[in-house]
Structure 1
Amino acid sequence: MTAALASRARILAVPDGRGTTALPVLSGAGPLAPRRTRDDDGAAHVVLVGSMAAPLGGDHLALDVELADGAALTLTSAAATISLPGPGPARYDIDLTVGEGARLDWRPEPVVAASGSHLVLHTRITLAAGARLRYREEQILGRHHDWTRGAAPGRLTSRLTVRRAGRLLLDQQTDLGPGAPGWDGPAVLGGHRATGQRLTVGHPQPEPPPPPLPQRQPGAGDAALLTLPDPDALLLTAAAPDGLALRRLLG
């Protein structure tokens, strides 16, 4: 039996005094390999590259991202994160800390729960009062060939906790896939296999209020736009039949 893997990656972004952002810490381990690429709009751009198949059941991955005051960072990934079966659930802990006047654009590719897997994912976001955040999260139950052969998807237990200036802004948990009560019922996914959300904090909202979502087409999925306790914090949540339809809903 293959031993479980424990891996932690760290990214530290700081202003460099020339109007751009430096990355004094950019360290990876195991399957988590952060790589700097061409900067975006004055923000450092890091691509998270998966250097090996992970997480497998029993693995514990962790990613710590910290933005000092005034830093700007965009984080994407080269491919989806695929949770694979193994001896027990896998864990993935993500901690994002965004300082005063800093801005983080978080938009990695989806997390995919392959048949037979169970991933426990917890993302904790700590924002200073003047921090800005754009956060996109996409989750897909089962790979394409799981669907085509009628196999059950994997299970994904996910929690998102957001604090701003020491105050709790959002704390929600979903438990989806075989073994989770009611996950496929009309009150949860309603037969869909992809879900996600887009959280925006600290960016001025348009006046008048945001326009309505595009008219829903049959089979395109469902979405809801929610205003959080802070007036400049919006949460768009969506469920869709597949990843492509989900991306269209999230924009």
Structure 2
Amino acid sequence: MSGTGAVRAAARVVARDDGRGGTALPVLHGEGPLAPRRTRGSGATAHVTLVGAMSGPLGGDRFRVDAEVERGARLRVGSAAATLALPGQHKGAARYDVRVSVADGAELHWLPEQLICAHGSDLRVDTRVEVAASGRLVLREEQVLGRVGEEPGRLVSRIRVRVAGRPVLDQELACGPGAPGGWDGPAGLGGLRAAGQLLLVRPEFARAPATAGAFGDYAAVLPLAGPAALVSAVARDALRLRALLDEALASLG
């Protein structure tokens, strides 16, 4: 936490094979608005839910979440509710950094709820992912621009992914006031207010890549240059966006 009014908060989760067919969580730490809690899981997978203990991020806030999945462990991370970015008293953007690593033979499902950028908010999201050669990952990001009936805040969201030390994805989405022109036009969101990505990393994609193609209203599957595939979708609202990404995940197996 910071004494200047803006909030500095971090959370860290480490998942480890417990040697008995399950997954232990030797590190499960959070502070301020970031409160990770172990929840009921199934089989060998440990489940963690991020609970928002405070509103935010607000302008000037700095949040960071780290998740490390060690060899042979299986972890599923979600959130109890959507994250709502709001304007704050401090000038400058809020930051939300995510750092994820998945070791050989490990598996992570990173499935938080939507990020909603309220009118007047300014948020930078930076996600960096490292996956080992035989690691597995399902990562979902969903952004909703503005609450019902309001103009969106500003959002800049970048995701960088490396598999076995090699880059497979470096993508940035910039929307809202101050974003480059055309973000809301036909070549961008086309007037829609929900956008999302679903990233899958699987060793078998190296032998049999996912098939590129479009589906649903505005969604597409793109095989990446590595054992990974990216689903991108835009929709009129969060409900339709989730349906598109769920459909894509089911189709990919």
Partner of 2:152: 153
Partner of 2:223: 227
How far does residue 210 in structure 1 lie from its aligned partner after superposition? 5.2
Partner of 2:128: 124
Moved over 6 A (4+): none
The correspondence for 1:69, drawn from 55, 68, 71, is 71
Residue 91 in structure 1 maps to residue 101 in structure 2: no
How far does residue 15 in structure 1 lie from its aligned partner after superposition? 0.5
Give me the CA root mean square deviation. Answer: 1.9
Per-residue CA deviation, residues 101-125 of structure 1 (Å, 9 max, x unaligned), is: 0000011100110110011000000
SS of 1:48 mapped into structure 2: strand
Residue 115 in structure 1 maps to residue 103 in structure 2: no
CA–CA distance in structure 2, aligned partners of residues 130 and 52 of structure 1: 37
SS of 2:71 mapped into structure 1: coil
Q: Is the 8 A contact 2:213 2:220 kept in 1?
A: no
Q: Percent identity?
A: 53
The correspondence for 2:231, drawn from 236, 241, 249, is 236
CA–CA distance in structure 2, aligned partners of residues 23 and 164 of structure 1: 24
Change (3 A) 1:30 1:233: same
Partner of 1:103: 107
Residue 187 in structure 1 maps to residue 183 in structure 2: no
How far does residue 179 in structure 1 lie from its aligned partner after superposition? 1.2
The correspondence for 1:143, drawn from 139, 142, 147, is 147
SS of 1:96 mapped into structure 2: strand
CA–CA distance in structure 2, aligned partners of residues 70 and 171 of structure 1: 27
SS of 2:178 mapped into structure 1: coil
- Gaps in structure 2 of 5+ consecutive residues: 247-253
CA–CA distance in structure 2, aligned partners of residues 168 and 198 of structure 1: 17
Q: Is the 8 A contact 2:210 2:223 kept in 1?
A: no
The correspondence for 1:250, drawn from 229, 245, 249, is 245
Change (3 A) 1:235 1:32: same
- What residue identity is the alignment partner of 2:170? D
CA–CA distance in structure 2, aligned partners of residues 80 and 153 of structure 1: 16
How far does residue 152 in structure 1 lie from its aligned partner after superposition? 1.7
Per-residue CA deviation, residues 183-233 of structure 1 (Å, 9 max, x unaligned), is: 11111111010000111111646979659655x4xxxx4111101012x31
Q: Give the count of matched residue pairs.
A: 240
CA–CA distance in structure 2, aligned partners of residues 172 and 179 of structure 1: 19
Partner of 2:250: none
CA–CA distance in structure 1, aligned partners of residues 95 and 42 of structure 2: 31
SS of 1:192 mapped into structure 2: coil
Partner of 2:16: 14
Change (3 A) 1:209 1:3: closer
SS of 2:244 mapped into structure 1: helix
Partner of 1:43: 45
Alignment of 1:146-225 (within 5 A): 147=149, 151-181=150-180, 182-202=182-202, 204=204, 214=215, 216=216, 221-225=217-221
Per-residue CA deviation, residues 32-82 of structure 1 (Å, 9 max, x unaligned), is: 000001113421000000001010010000001001111100001000011
- Gaps in structure 1 of 5+ consecutive residues: none
Q: What is the TM-score of this pair, normalised by structure 1?
A: 0.91
How far does residue 143 in structure 1 lie from its aligned partner after superposition? 1.1
